[in-house]
Structure 1
Amino acid sequence: MGNEAQKSSDRPGKRGSDSPGGVQSVDRAISILEILAREGEAGVSDVAAEIGVHKSTAFRLLAALEERDFVEQSAERGKYRLAFGVLRLASAIPTRIDMVRQSQPIVEGLATHLGETINLAVVREHYAVNVQQARSSAAVASQNWVGQLTPLHATSSGKILLAYMPDEQRDSIIDKAGLPPLTKHTVTSRRALLDELAEVRETGFATAFEELEAGLNAAAVPVRDHTGDVVGALSASGPAFRFDTDWIKGAEADLRLAGSRISHRLGWLEKAARTVSDESVVS
């Protein structure tokens, strides 16, 4: 009798099973919801192609989601879209997600991986203010930037924040704050800064080489909210003697990945962010 019970509990597909197949099905179902959230609606073939399964598997997953009212078929037969069941889950989430709390494990993991200081900054009036920081053991002597106001034009984070602002807001900030020279490397030409910001907006990556302080370099990427708007900037910084152009090139992919992970946690459903695992900062 005991053997029969054991055999029964080992059968694949049993409710509550932690089998790899069960986890995979959950992962695929969540991917389908994210696809529909991003695209608005999609057919079985589109879903199957994106998650890499046979059409019959995609159909079964969609049918299960439809049974729970998470998806529904649109007027155009064969197309699916999100249904009201999703709202039951969404209503339990606070309307304002704490970006600092959501970013903390990612910021800390990136600092450990890169061995440099990592900061998360947002706009406050005409400054960038650092709201989250992590320092690796190699950077224990570096400055604590949390709560510090830094000029937008002289930091990598500030350049990210400026680059994605509406033109009117950016012009108003520059008019009010000016472009004071903080070191001999600070960009003080409005035209030169605007040209640099246009490139930052195109590439999604900003650098600052000894522009805020002599001997301090930094690089930053954007952090987006659920609408895709840039609401923060994630930066890595360190002493110029080791945090040079080559180091920045080598760390760029990890920095971008961490920025996408934070954005994903804030609800951003851009395709690249969806592929990032929350299990580790880097692959």
Structure 2
Amino acid sequence: MSNSVEATAPAGGGVQSVDRALTILQVLARAGELGVTEIAAELGVHKSTAFRLVATLESHGMVEQHQGRGKYRLGVGLLRLAGATTARLDLVQEARPVCRQLAQDTGETVNLAVLSGSSALYLDQVAGTSALQTHNWVGQHIPLHATSNGKVLLAGLPPARREELVGRLPSYTSATITQRARLREELTAVATQGWAVAVDELEMGLAAVAAPIRSAHGDVVASMSLSGPTFRLTEARIAEVLPALLQAADEVSHRMGWGRR
């Protein structure tokens, strides 16, 4: 009876399938290798259901079948995911002392961001010593076209990939860039000069200047920015702190392997 209900009941099926797929990964992590029949028993589902779930995980490289034994084990796709997480943790670890020093030297808040899907994900933030600070951005996804970090990340991409990510350009303030042609021009300038500025583009009263962080291969893998209120982070002030920001971003890049021989 339970098997027939399982096969026909659609309610919550998507979430249930995700839960079962994650359970399979946990079971394989514990057991090492299991056949479909054993996996089905662990989940308490029909063998055909277990096979469909395993086949989906296999198609994404999350599990792989041991040749000749018919058993499944964790796949290299998990290693790629773990590697991406490790790379981000390494970035934060390498950048943190540099960000602290930059925040201390300038008094402004230092932010670290990476590309995540079609937005910028803020990985770390070090508050400056100035009395008025911006709010905590860590863990938030921020629009690429309306932030200095986002512009740096976009400018570091190949043109074709850049166009894929730049879809609709919503307006957040009257200063937000909403025309694709204008954004292209700005990104070209960012790529040439090696830094980006955003003033009042995401929020009125918020200014930021950002510089790229590069990998050992020279690819832009992250962006470091100084941010603060526009009354303090004026055009003259941005010009004043820019050299320190560029030096700090280069230092993190070197820590990540860029420029090493």
Kindly tell me: are residues 173 and 266 of structure 1, through their superposed partners in 2, closer, same or farther at Cα, counting changes over 3 Å? same
User: Is residue 122–residue 161 contact of structure 1 (8 Å, CA) maintained in 2?
Assistant: yes
Residue from 112, 115, 119 that aligns with 1:123: 115
Match of 2:105 among 105, 108, 113: 113
Report the residue type matching 2:215 in the other structure: D
- In the alignment, the residues of structure 2 paired with residue 95 and residue 179 of structure 1 have an alpha-carbon distance, to the nearest angstrom, of 30
Q: How does 1:97-108 map to 2 (within 5 A)?
A: 98-108=90-100
Displacement of 1:270: 6.6
Deviation at 1:142, TM superposition (A): 2.3
Q: Distance in 2 between matches of 1:143 and 1:205?
A: 23
Q: Is the 8 A contact 1:217 1:243 kept in 2?
A: yes
1:95, 1:212 → 2: CA distance?
Answer: 28
Find out whether 1:263 has 2:253 as its counterpart. yes
State the partner residue of 1:153.
Answer: 145
Matched, 1:237 2:227: yes
Q: Secondary structure at the match of 1:256?
A: helix
Check 1:243–1:128 CA distance in 2 against 1; reply closer, same or farther (3 A cut).
Answer: same
The CA distance in 2 between the partners of 1:152 and 1:259, in whole Å, is: 19
Taking the aligned partners of 1:233 and 1:190, their CA distance within structure 2 comes to: 22
Unaligned runs of 5+ in 2: 1-85
1:30-67 CA distances to partner (integer Å, 9 max, x unpaired)?
A: xxxxxxxxxxxxxxxxxxxxxxxxxxxxxxxxxxxxxx
- How much identity, in percent, do the aligned residues show? 42
Which residues of 2 match residues 1-283 of structure 1 at below 5 A? Answer: 98-139=90-131, 141-175=133-167, 178-269=168-259
Q: Which amino acid in the other structure matches residue 173 of structure 2?
A: T
Residue 137 of structure 1, CA deviation: 2.7
In the alignment, structure 1 segments of 5+ residues that lack a partner are 1-93, 272-283
Find the aligned partners of 2:260 and 2:234 in 1 and give their Cα distance: 30
Tell me the secondary structure at the aligned position of residue 130 of structure 2.
helix
* Distance in 1, Cα, partners of 2:165 & 2:93: 28
Q: Kindly indicate whether the alpha-carbon contact (under 8 Å) linking 1:116 and 1:139 is maintained by their aligned counterparts in 2.
A: no
In the alignment, the residues of structure 1 paired with residue 222 and residue 120 of structure 2 have an alpha-carbon distance, to the nearest angstrom, of 9
* Runs of 4+ more than 3 Å apart: 94-97
Count residues with an aligned counterpart. Answer: 176
Secondary structure in 2 matching 1:188: coil
Specify whether residues 245 and 100 from structure 1 end up closer, same or farther in structure 2 by C-alpha distance, changes over 3 A only: same
**Contact 1:120/1:232, CA 8 A, preserved across alignment:** yes
Per the normalisation by structure 2, the TM-score is: 0.65
> 2:119 touches 2:150 (CA, 8 Å); kept in 1?
yes
Letter matched to residue 122 of structure 2: N
Normalising by structure 1, we get a TM-score of 0.60
Instruction: Give the letter for the 1:216 counterpart.
Output: L
Q: What amino acid maps onto 2:251 in structure 1?
A: R
